[in-house]
Homo-oligomer: A and B are copies of this chain.
Amino acid sequence: MDGTTFTVKDNIDIARLRTSYGSPAWRDAHPAPVHNAVCVDQLLAAGARCVGKAIADEFTYSLDGENQFLGTPRNAKAPERIPGGSSSGSAASVANGLADFSIGTDSGGSVRVPASLCGIWGMRPSLHRISEAGVLPFMPSVSTVGVLAARFEHLNAAARVMLHSGPKTGVPLRRLLLLTDALEVANKAVQDQVCSALQRISHDVGISLETIHFSKIVSEDIPLSDCNVKALRNLQSAEFESTVGNWIETAKPELGIAFSMAYGNVQRFDRIAAMDSLARCERLFEKINAYLVPGTVICFPTTPVIAPLKGTLTNLDAVLDFYDRTMTITAFSGVARLPEITAPLLTVDDCPVGLSFASGHYQDEFLLEAVGRMLN
């Protein structure tokens, strides 16, 4: 990777720099690390050059990219709009041309959402394929290290270094599926763009586009939103309490308004009652992965909307609409631990939206190859 440059989300350690976790209070309470995170050393060993750290949302617990303490990174293609988060600075540093790629983290969509809203490439790999040593502990059963880049070749190269990929898989693309439940969550203009982009891709690769319902994939009559509401969200809340929550309760740091609102929901939820959500996550993981056999790529809009205007995610209805609809889509790969790549292919009202491609758990190399063939 000689000659390439990258930035690092500020929940990932770089030696001798304090890691802020998007919170000045956290930064001031913790000494600078002595070692780089393992994923940073992998990229340095491969020849890439680190050019800086990138702002994250407070405790990386947000999808909007507005950090009350540290500012809102600029959405290069839609400057009056939010960049998306929590890897907001990662997306902005790449979209504004400050680095070839950036490493971020993704639990509920924190790589995919800012990549979609800023019009760049983003990859959330299979759960636990990339080392999380030196990455601040967050939600160990959900969080991944991911990549954002302006060009596919940089996304591909950085992902392969951190995934420590072997030679080409040789698995051909056999099925191209459109997840209709996710499509229906999106605004009409996004839906139209998704359909025409996928028709074009399907024509180019000579494989017919099939539509598929979530209930067919899991052979159960449940809505796609169950992945979020009845499974992943509770697991995330329980794990967040046992990691960041413990620190907040004992250190009593100053918290931002938006984070306080989100953390209030975490505090109110019933941990013991939530334990059956973990079983639901496991069942959904098994069923979705039994369906997504090697050679299968499933597609859907990365986010249901273009980036909201800055300062509009202030009233509860707007927040709920943005988060509930976005996470209905992002929780699909989250609960199934899938690799997902968002491609900057769509434009609505002159603003970017991503088109996502996902494949089965641990099929990261197949997905990179398939997306590379389809879109390059």
Q: B128, A141: Cβ atoms under 8 Å?
A: yes
Partner of A131, one of B41, B44, B45, B239: B239
Instruction: Name which residue of chain B comes closest to A239, CB basis.
Output: B133
- Min CB gap A191→B, angstroms: 35
- Min CB gap A363→B, angstroms: 12
Partner of A133, one of B36, B41, B131, B243: B243
Report how many copies the assembly holds.
2
- Residues of chain B contacted by A272 (CB below 8 angstroms): 41, 44-45
Q: Interface with B: A176-184, A195-203, A274-282, A308-316, which one?
A: A274-282
- Residues of chain B contacted by A164 (CB below 8 angstroms): 278-279, 281-282
A129 to B271, alpha carbons, bound, how many Å? 19
A324 on interface, CB distance cutoff 8 Å:
no
A250 to B35, alpha carbons, bound, how many Å? 11
A13 on interface, CB distance cutoff 8 Å:
yes
Q: B35, A242: Cβ atoms under 8 Å?
A: yes
- Residues of chain B contacted by A34 (CB below 8 angstroms): 241, 245-246, 249-250
- Residues of chain B contacted by A128 (CB below 8 angstroms): 127-128, 140-141
Q: A141, B131: Cβ atoms under 8 Å?
A: yes
A217 on interface, CB distance cutoff 8 Å:
no
Kindly supply a per-residue 1/0 record for chain A positions 143-157, scoring 1 wherever the CB is within 8 Å of any chain B CB and 0 otherwise. 000000000000000
A90 to B137, alpha carbons, bound, how many Å? 25
A369 on interface, CB distance cutoff 8 Å:
no
User: Are A166 and B279 also in contact (CB < 8 A) when A133-B140, A133-B238 are?
Assistant: yes
A159 on interface, CB distance cutoff 8 Å:
no
Instruction: Name which residue of chain B comes closest to A282, CB basis.
Output: B164
A55 on interface, CB distance cutoff 8 Å:
no
Residues of A283-315 contacting chain B, CB below 8 A: 283, 286
User: Are A41 and B132 also in contact (CB < 8 A) when A140-B140, A242-B35, A249-B34 are?
Assistant: no
Instruction: Name which residue of chain B comes closest to A34, CB basis.
Output: B249
User: Are A242 and B45 also in contact (CB < 8 A) when A31-B250, A166-B286 are?
Assistant: no
- Residues of chain B contacted by A13 (CB below 8 angstroms): 242, 246
- Residues of chain B contacted by A250 (CB below 8 angstroms): 31-32, 34
- Residues of chain B contacted by A256 (CB below 8 angstroms): none
Partner of A238, one of B41, B139, B249, B279: B41
Q: A245, B283: Cβ atoms under 8 Å?
A: no
A33 to B44, alpha carbons, bound, how many Å? 36
Residues of A247-277 contacting chain B, CB below 8 A: 249-250, 271-272, 275
A242 to B19, alpha carbons, bound, how many Å? 13
Q: B140, A242: Cβ atoms under 8 Å?
A: no
Which 5 pairs from chain A and chain B are nearest by CB? Answer: A134-B242, A133-B239, A164-B279, A133-B242, A34-B249
- 7 examples of A-B residue contacts, CB within 8 angstroms: A34-B250, A38-B239, A42-B275, A46-B275, A131-B141, A133-B240, A164-B282
5 more contacts with CB within 8 A, not counting A131-B235, A133-B243, A140-B140, are A34-B241, A38-B239, A128-B141, A135-B140, A166-B283
